[in-house]
Structure 1
Amino acid sequence: MTESIQAAYRQILLDLGEDPDREGLKDTPGRAARAMQYLTRGYHQTLDEVLNGAVFSSDNDEMVIVRNIELYSLCEHHLLPFIGRAHVAYLPDGKVIGLSKVARIVDMYARRLQIQENLTRQIALAIQEVTGGRGVAVYINARHMCMMMRGVEKQNSEMSTSVMLGDFRSNHKTRDEFLQLIRTPSAY
């Protein structure tokens, strides 16, 4: 697959009027192909692989939050990056997952061609599936290069999306607690 992606990048350079054989571009098609495979590696991961068995029994029934998970994705409309932070919470119901697994789930879905709305929902549904929790909340705030580098060129624009499942959707106090906690400055 790398060879066909590499050939496509070479053709793009030619179509742009560049010489893909000049010194600065000679290895660019190969580097770009490897970079694209890395940036979209989420297509080759599964939830089971990402979890790697890190689901544990727990008596905890209080909110678990992982804040400020940086994410990097590619807009499926322009193949330009969007960069942001995800905040993920769940209400355990007998089991919890390893802390790093929350970030790995975010990465697995972010490392695909995406729109932020779908990314937010995919993360929430995956956390719900693996924890069986009473509720899941995901909030993402990101800056989209397709808004900043082209089109309307709005440098300070940000997009926020949220998905609330279970108790986070039905109980406004739980939802409000989550939103307050993710906005509270860190002690670090």
Structure 2
Amino acid sequence: MEQHWAAIIEAIGEDLQRPGLVDTPKRAAKAFEFLTRGYEQSVEEVVNNALFPSDSSEMVIVQDVELYSLCEHHMLPFIGKCHVAYIPTGYVLGLSKVARIVDIFARRLQIQESLTTQIASTIMDVTGAEGVGVIIEAKHMCMMMRGVEKQNSVMKSSAMLGSFRDSQKTRDEFLQILQLRR
């Protein structure tokens, strides 16, 4: 990967011998490996059996989980927050595991719509929940730094599964708690 970064830097007309760039290919390769570390992780490894018996059958919400991802179309960042809700059926997921599941998929080349669906499906599969709702709000550098250059645009995407899809009351409760309803 380091050699490829060197070729890219040279292709834009820069001098790799310039003091500020001497180690840049190595640093860029290391950074890119970190930014895409989701490919090296599995859900099983991250969840690590952190499902705990619970009598709760009320909505569990983890709000404002920050996320950083790379757009698969331009390889530019999109940055935002993810809200995850589920209704348990006998087991609850360790709190940090929700954030880790978000990170597994965010740290891959991605589009926001797929990311939202992947998180929701995984939470549903792992917990056996009655329903799952996921909403992501993000700013996309591919829209801000290039192209239309719109600095204040925010993309919102949602995935509603099980009771979050089937029951308007459940969906409304989730949205009301998040204060996303207008």
Where in structure 2 are there 5+ consecutive unaligned residues? none
1:168 and 1:13 map into 2 onto residues whose CA distance is 47
What is the 5 A alignment of 1:141-160? Answer: 141-160=137-156
Q: Could you state the TM-score of these two structures normalised by the residue count of structure 2?
A: 0.98
Q: Does 1:127 align with 2:149?
A: no
What is the 5 A alignment of 1:151-170? Answer: 151-170=147-166
1:43 corresponding residue in structure 2: 39
Once the two structures are TM-superposed, the CA of residue 147 in structure 1 deviates from its matched residue by 0.2
Once the two structures are TM-superposed, the CA of residue 58 in structure 1 deviates from its matched residue by 1.0
What is the 5 A alignment of 1:20-169? Answer: 20-169=16-165
1:47 and 1:183 map into 2 onto residues whose CA distance is 30
1:51-100 Cα shifts (integer Å, max 9, x gaps): 01101111110000000000000000001000000000000011111000
Count how many residue pairs are aligned between Structure 1 and Structure 2.
Answer: 180
Where in structure 1 are there 5+ consecutive unaligned residues? none
Measured on the aligned residues, the alpha-carbon RMSD in Å equals 0.7
Structure 1 runs of 4+ with >4 Å offset: none
Once the two structures are TM-superposed, the CA of residue 13 in structure 1 deviates from its matched residue by 0.8
Query: Identity over the aligned pairs, expressed in percent?
Result: 63
2:4 corresponding residue in structure 1: 8
Residue type of the partner of 1:100? S
2:97 and 2:178 map into 1 onto residues whose CA distance is 19
> Counterpart of 2:105 in 1: which secondary structure?
helix
1:127-163 Cα shifts (integer Å, max 9, x gaps): 0011000000000000000000000000001100000
1:173 corresponding residue in structure 2: 169
2:123 and 2:143 map into 1 onto residues whose CA distance is 29
Q: Could you state the TM-score of these two structures normalised by the residue count of structure 1?
A: 0.95
